[in-house]
Amino acid sequence: MKALIQRVKQAKVVVDGKTVGEINQGILAFIGVEQSDTTINADKLLKKIMSYRIFSDENGKMNLSLQDIQGGLLLVSQFTLVANTQKGLRPSFSNAGSPDLSKQLYGYMIEQAQNTSLTIQTGVFAADMEVSLVNDGPVTFNLQC
């Protein structure tokens, strides 16, 4: 499982002209599922997202996690994250999880996130989404579990 996380001042997802998910300070996390992924991968990745220290402490050092600042988490499914781009000029999605597996693990991750004290928002699986954000920094990381 892969995630592209961005530290944001605000982020939102719009589907068919309607805002379906929106946060203020926190993390926008794009989630990609591979064929071999399981709920174990989802648990590890979610824990890493919520515990990754990318927010500034009182000394301006990246030393605080999403949990520490009680920020928002916007989870958005994005199968293109698992593309193989090493050869040629067209991405290969041969390692991507099936739509059923991806939907299941994305949904599982959302359920687990909602069991925390954080504000959790989401996109819509397999929808044509418009994602807007104000990246704080900019700060962006690729995570994999």
As given in the structure block, the two tokens for residue 115 are 């069991």
To the query of whether residue 6 is one of the catalytic residues in this protein, the response is no
Cβ-based burial of 104 (10 A; exposed 0-12, middle 13-18, buried ≥19): middle
Catalytic residue among 35, 80, 114, 140: 80
| 86 part of the active site | no
- Taking the C-alpha atoms of residue 74 and residue 65, their distance in angstroms, rounded to an integer, is 15
Q: Which residue out of 6, 30, 67, 79 is catalytically annotated? A: 79
Q: Which residues is 15 bridged to in the sheet? A: 18
Q: How many angstroms separate the CA atoms of 116 and 124, rounded?
A: 20
Taking phi over 0 as left and psi of -120 to 50 as alpha, with beta for the rest, 14 belongs to beta
Q: Is 60 left (phi over 0), alpha (psi -120 to 50) or beta?
A: left
Q: Which of 6, 78, 121, 122 is catalytic?
A: 78
141 an active-site residue?
Answer: no
d(CA 81, CA 32): 5
User: What residues are annotated to the active site?
Assistant: 78-80
